[in-house]
Amino acid sequence: MGISENLRNFLADAFDMAIAKTIRDGKLNLRQPDVLAIVENLNEFLVKAHAHELSVSDRKIFDLFLSSLQMTVRHRRLTMVSTTMVSHIIDVLRYIILWQNESLCRYDVKVTSRRKGLTSELNKILIKSVEQLNENIITPPVIRDRFGIRVIISDDSNKTLLEFVRIVIAILTNSDSSEFKEFRKWVKNSTNFRYGGEQLDSLFVTDFLDNYHFYMTYVKDYVRYPKPSGYQTWQCTLEVDATSKNLAGFKFEFQARTSAMHRMAEIGAASHDDYKRLHEELVSGIFEIRDYSDGLVFFEGPEFPDLDLDGLTVPAHILSRHISPHVVERTSWMRIETLSTMSPTRLTWYTKPKNSALIELNSLVLWLLFE
């Protein structure tokens, strides 16, 4: 079962009306003409639409789409707190990487994050509605990658990547109590640790781990089992446990890949995924901005994606970080003690690193780190 021309026109007309009302309300100063207004207006039009005029099969697709759209509205209303959550997760990831690099790992990592573009989300909901109906699944489609975090490591070793993933998931989900305890211990004892001039915020990390509990679902190991196109990435959905006080049920997609995998996915053979292309053709032309001149905030038209800052037709960038092992201030790796009887005062002692040597210079003792 596909999408009939009647249903295509039905949804496209509703989207056009939602865009027009959003622009009109903005010019009348009734509300901000942004992405949230568009999706709320679309939902309002579809709820009131004469869907009974659709065929039986089209109505089934429509009902699934509308149910999922209403979940999109609820999640989009929480965009601010959800975006803050993603930023916090990236900060915790940064500290996990620094912790590993302290133990002589050499992870050089780029972390990026984004919120899915609205038109892309609407397309995905519609595609999944058709797929689920074909599989006799009558529950509304769930969008698990509305928010996404991607980690790219410079080391092109699959083994290194999968070990990195294991550690990150172990900490975020507390699935390995020994790793979890070791990380918390490191955070607690690293009050003098600095990265790029910034002191480790140990209180933030411990509060985050205490207040947010994640569990992992929908694991896809395309590292060990690549797609036919050659696409390789390790990915899963991480969801805030229902018992958490804040943002219970919040989902985001976590991806991890090497630099080589990233090149293959973005500009190599894996970027030409036939499965993805066929799905894009299925919904092409439905949720598109047509005959646009002005009126929406942070949007200059579909022909200027770099100026789409609200995430209407392209993903909205949230935060990116480069965590390099070369910009750590190793203040925690030098130990100095005054031994002179004339000056009994001792300076603060730090933990002795594993790769170090003791040098005694008269009244001065130094631990020197070997790189």
Tens of pLDDT, residue by residue over 127-157, are 999 999 999 999 999 999 999 999 999 999 9
Mean pLDDT for 87-113 is 92
CA nearest to 93, candidates 192, 176, 165, 185: 165
Give the pLDDT band of residue 243 (cuts 50, 70, 90). confident
Tens of pLDDT, residue by residue over 163-200, are 999 999 999 999 999 999 999 999 988 776 666 677 77
Question: In this model, does residue 361 exceed pLDDT 70?
Answer: no
Tens of pLDDT, residue by residue over 195-233, are 667 777 888 999 999 989 899 999 999 999 999 989 999
Q: What are the structural domain ranges in the chain?
A: 79-283+300-328, 334-369
Give the rounded percent of residues in the chain with a pLDDT score beyond 70.
Answer: 85
Give the pLDDT band of residue 80 (cuts 50, 70, 90). very high
Note the pLDDT of residue 199: 75
Note the pLDDT of residue 371: 40
Give the pLDDT band of residue 67 (cuts 50, 70, 90). very high
Question: In this model, does residue 349 exceed pLDDT 60?
Answer: no
